[in-house]
Chains A and B, each alone.
Chain A
Amino acid sequence: MSLLKKADEVRAGFFNTLQEDPARVDLEALRIEYLGRKGKVATLFKQMGQVAPEERAAFGQTLNQLKQELTEALDERESAAAAEKHSTEEAKIDLTLPGIASPAGTYHIITQSLNDMIDIFGRLGFSVAEGPEVESEWRNFDALNILPDHPARDMQDTFFTKSGHVLRTHTSPVQVRLMQSQPPPIRSIMPGKVYRNEAVSARSHAMFHQVEGLYVDKRVTFGELKGTLELFCREYFDEDVKLRFRPSFFPFTEPSSEVDISCFLCHGKGCRICKQTGWLEILGCGMVDPAVFEAVGYDPDKVTGYAFGIGIERPALLRYGIPDIRMFYENDLRFLRQF
Chain B
Amino acid sequence: MIISYQWLRDYVDFDLTPAELCEKLTNLGLEAYVASQYEPFLNEIVIGEVIECVPHPNSDHLSICQVKVNADSIQQIVCGAPNVAQGQRVPVALQGTTLPGGLEIKPVKLRGEKSNGMICSERELGLSESHDGILILNDTAPVGGSFVDYLTGGDTAIEIDLTPNRPDAMSHIGVARDLAALIKQTLAKPKPEFRESAESTDSSARITLEDTHGCPRYATRVIRGVTIGPSPKWLQERLQAVGLRSINNVVDAANFVLMETGHPLHTFDYDQLAGHEIIVRRAYKNEKMTTLDSKERQLNEEILLICDGEKPVAIAGIMGGENSEVMEQTTNILIESAYFDPVTIRRGAKFLGLSSEASKRFERGADPSGVIYALERLTGLIQELAGGQVSKGVVDAYPKPISPAEVRLRYKRCSDLLGVDIPAETQRQILTDLGMETLESSDQETAFRIPTFRPDITREADLFEEILRVYGQHNVPVNTHFRVTSQALGKSSNKFRNALREIMVGMGYHEIMSVSLVMENQHPRLFGDEKPVELLNPSSREMTTVRSSLLPGMETALAYNRRHRQNNIHLFEVGQVSTVDKNSDTSARESTHIAFLQQGLVQEKTWLTPEIESTFYHLKGDLSKLWRSLTGDDPKFVTVDHAILKHCYGILLDGEIVGYLGELPENRLENLDISGNVFYAEITTAALEKAYWNREKSFILFSPYPVVERDLSLVIDETISHAEIQKVIEEKGGNFLQESYLYDLYQGNTIATGQKSLTFRLVFQTLDRTLTEREVDQAFDRIVWSLKTDFNANLR
Residues of chain A having any CB pair with chain B under 8 Å: 97-98, 100, 102-108, 110-111, 115, 118, 122, 124-125, 127-128, 130, 132-136, 149, 151, 155, 159-165, 167, 185, 187, 191, 193, 195, 197-200, 205-207, 217, 219, 221-224, 226-228, 230-231, 244-249, 254-258, 277, 287, 289-290, 304, 328-334, 336-337
Contact = CB atoms under 8 A, between A and B. Distances in A.
Q: How large is the interface on B (under 10, 10 to 19, 20 to 34, 35 or more residues)?
A: 35 or more
Interface string B487-528: 101101110001001001111111111111100000000000
A103 B622 CA distance: 13
B483 interface: yes
B385 interface: no
Interface stretch (B96-104, B291-299, B435-443, B562-570): B562-570
A191 B164 CA distance: 27
A104 B419 contact: no
Contacts of A246: 26-27, 29, 31, 473
Nearest to A138: B585
B516 A104 contact: no
B578 A134 contact: yes
26 contacts: A98-B607, A100-B609, A103-B508, A104-B506, A105-B507, A106-B505, A125-B482, A128-B492, A132-B578, A132-B586, A134-B587, A134-B588, A134-B590, A136-B585, A161-B588, A162-B534, A207-B515, A222-B420, A223-B419, A224-B479, A230-B478, A246-B473, A247-B27, A247-B29, A329-B515, A331-B556
Given A111-B501, A222-B473, A254-B465, 10 more contacts: A155-B536, A162-B536, A187-B487, A207-B516, A222-B420, A223-B479, A226-B478, A245-B476, A249-B29, A249-B163
Contacts of A230: 478, 480
Contacts of A98: 606-607
A224 B566 CA distance: 49
Contacts of A197: 537, 539
Contact of B546 (A133, A256, A330): A133
A258 B161 CA distance: 13
A19 B498 CA distance: 65
A330 B557 CA distance: 7
A290 B459 contact: yes
B513 A331 contact: yes
Contacts of B416: 219, 221, 304
A128 B543 CA distance: 29
A198 B505 contact: no
Contact of B478 (A103, A219, A223, A331): A223
Given A134-B578, A161-B533, A197-B537, A108 B478 contact: no
B478 A333 contact: no
B599 to A, nearest CB: 12
Contact of B418 (A122, A160, A223): A223
Contact of A256 (B465, B543, B560): B465
B494 A124 contact: no
Interface in B398-457: 416-420
Contacts, number: 257
B342 to A, nearest CB: 9
Contacts of B498: 115
B608 A100 contact: yes
Contacts of B578: 132-134
B752 interface: no
Nearest to A103: B508
Given A136-B586, A246-B473, A247-B27, A331 B571 contact: yes
B564 A207 contact: no
Given A230-B480, A255-B464, A332 B560 contact: yes
Contacts of A149: 343, 346-347
A97 B418 CA distance: 65
A162 B343 contact: no
A227 to B, nearest CB: 4
Given A134-B546, A163-B580, A185-B485, A328 B513 contact: yes
A330 B515 CA distance: 9
Contact of A193 (B420, B476, B516, B585): B516
B597 to A, nearest CB: 12
B538 interface: yes
A336 B515 CA distance: 15
Nearest to B343: A149
Contacts of B464: 254-255, 287
Contacts of B535: 159-162, 167
B634 interface: no
A132 B505 contact: no
> Would you list the 3 A-B pairs with minimal beta carbon distance, nearest first?
A223-B419, A221-B419, A103-B508
Given A104-B506, A122-B489, A328-B513, A193 B477 contact: no
A107 B516 contact: no
Nearest to B461: A254
